[in-house]
Amino acid sequence: MVLDNIYSNSIKVHNGSGDFSCNFVGEKERKLINDVLMKQSSAREIETLKYFRERIMRYNVPTTVKNNPDAYEEFFTSVGRAYLVEAFLEFFGMDNTESVPTKNMPENNATMEEKKQHFDNVIGQFVDYHVFHSGVSDDDKVMNYGLCLIELFVIPMQVNDTVHEVDGDRNVINWKYLLWLFKANNNLSKYAIEGMYFLTLVKCLLTHQMSERVIWGRETNKKGKIATNMPNDLEMEHNIKDTKTMITAMGANKTEKSVLRCSMSVTGMREFLSAFDATSNHIRRSQQLNTASKKN
């Protein structure tokens, strides 16, 4: 079942139709996942990342994350989604995603409020067991590996959703959790030091005004739509890329004045091109299209 889910999720992620993508997961999260779960000697251990890499022939997934981070993210997303779906099906007693749940369901004559309360309690139990490992025995190593994989898969989902929603308070909580994981993985982790530095600044050293700016001013929204925010550093990378493209197109006609003028006009040029595409009904295909566009 897990392998079938991996195949289906691989197609979704590859085609850009999946509803989750590790867009904003940085090198630190990838390295943590690789260090904990991707053991090169575990190719014969069923249900491990290395096993699935060999089984579905994802040979572009590197042993070192920095060699091909995009392939690693796509692969881990496929496996993580499959594990999470399989755990959900098992928890509710379902054979597949189309079947009817047979376990952990409310009474048939329950009111709407009772059903909502039951849903909150049941999902809380699912999260406590599969993410926070409440009541899990240390004896079953295979189960512990699967739960650890689900936990490390939920972290990128949480990070991405935090960025999309611009939830500064949740971002601080994420860093507290990541700090604990980085420290547990490596006592000398530079990422743990980075997390401690960030938390110390916003909680102790900065003024209240500056702390709020640091917590809530880390994302930008270019479209003005809900849940379409992106990190400031990623937006800066886009600006740098557009600037380099414009400067390269100048050829040999580069002067200090022309380069400065070109750099200052990047934002306006991008808006001009977007307006031109909209006027001419030119549709730019997105690589992360969740649902079909109504215009198509």
Q: pTM for the full model?
A: 0.74
147 touches 9 (CB < 8 A): no
Q: What is the pLDDT of residue 62?
A: 82
What's the rounded Cα separation, in Å, for the pair 253 and 243?
15
The angle formed by the CA atoms of residues 6, 12 and 13, to the nearest 5 degrees, is 85
Q: CB under 8 Å to 137, separation ≥6 — which residues?
A: 143
Q: What is the pLDDT of residue 23?
A: 39
What's the rounded Cα separation, in Å, for the pair 81 and 76?
8
77 touches 22 (CB < 8 A): yes
Q: What is the pLDDT of residue 13?
A: 35
Question: Which residues in the chain come in under a pLDDT of 50?
Answer: 3, 6-24, 289-290, 295-296
Q: What is the pLDDT of residue 141?
A: 84
